[in-house]
Amino acid sequence: MSALVLISALIIGLSVGLLGSGGSILTVPVLVHLVQLPEKVAIVSSLGVVAQISFIALLPYLWRRHLDFALFQRFAIPAFFGTLLGVALAQWLHSSVQLLILAVLMLGSAANMWRRTIWQWQIHSSLLLAVLAMSLGMLTGLVGVGGGFLIVPLLLAVTSIPMSAAIACSLALIFLQSTTGFISHYWLMSAQGEALPLELIGWLGLIGACGSLLGIILSAYIPQLWVRKTFSVLLIGTAVSLLWPIVH
């Protein structure tokens, strides 16, 4: 495992700790371009890495009792079933389509991160909220992202909770979705005789988790707008790197 891969895992964890979201969307490109895993394997491996990072990043919020369990349960059930649906759909999609979806999500996230005030949506329908939660879970199972860059603004828009509580709920949902997706994909791949690089997943998750804790500490000293704009540029560059082989 190269130093560049280790640094990338640290950056992914840092961004999760600093922003409470967004970092996991970089995991698939790192696994595809730097580790050179096949696209399908990279997407599944990403879920294992993201699950570890989100769990460790969640612990300080649990310690401070920032997680609203009632709110979490409201989103968790549709997100769980959405993830299972995403895993099922992923078996039928070509890897280039999955990467195309991921690149579009990255560009949307970059646009949101660049704004001084992130987009929010005023939604009052419980049914629509359940559909959105299920859709976010489906994206997790489909392209290996946690979805925090969408979950945080959604939570802020439909509740009156503070940012710390929104981040805590987002991390809990990311952990649930990523774990569900990884276990489901792992079971299907094992049944087909395919193997995953479990040692690599473990190391990247551990380094990313350490980075997330460092990010939480640094978030008190670094302006979030500056971090978001920097991360936005990084997302655009990474999205282009995913799109380039597809369009050529």
- Integer angstrom CA distances of residue 218 from 9, 17, 122, 222, 234: 17, 8, 31, 6, 19
Is residue 188 packed enough to be buried (19+ CB in 10 Å), middle (13-18) or exposed (0-12)?
Answer: middle
Whether the Cβ atoms of residue 174 and residue 73 lie closer than 8 Å to each other = no
Q: What is the pTM of this model?
A: 0.83
> How many angstroms from the chain centroid is the CA of residue 206?
16
Smallest Cα–Cα separation from 170: which of 87, 53, 85, 7?
53
Q: Which value, in Å, is the radius of gyration of the alpha carbons in the chain?
A: 17
Report how far residue 219's alpha carbon sits from residue 204's, in angstroms, rounded to the nearest whole number. Answer: 22
Count of domains observed in the chain: 1
3-state secondary structure (DSSP) of residue 197: coil
Whether the Cβ atoms of residue 13 and residue 35 lie closer than 8 Å to each other = no
The mean pLDDT values, 10 residues at a time, for the chain of 248 residues are 84 81 76 88 90 91 90 90 91 85 81 71 75 87 75 74 83 91 91 90 93 86 78 81 74
Smallest Cα–Cα separation from 49: which of 196, 230, 193, 150?
196
Whether the Cβ atoms of residue 86 and residue 128 lie closer than 8 Å to each other = no
> What pLDDT, on a 0 to 100 scale, did the predictor assign at position 40?
86
User: Which tens digit of pLDDT belongs to each residue from 217-232?
Assistant: 888 788 877 877 887 8
User: Which tens digit of pLDDT belongs to each residue from 104-126?
Assistant: 887 887 787 777 776 666 666 77
Q: Give the structural domain span for 240.
A: 3-247
Rounded to 10 degrees, what is the CA torsion of 51, 205, 15, 73? 10
> How many angstroms from the chain centroid is the CA of residue 200?
18
Place of tokens 């992130």: 118
Count of C-beta atoms within a 10 Å radius of residue 196: 17
Count of C-beta atoms within a 10 Å radius of residue 124: 7
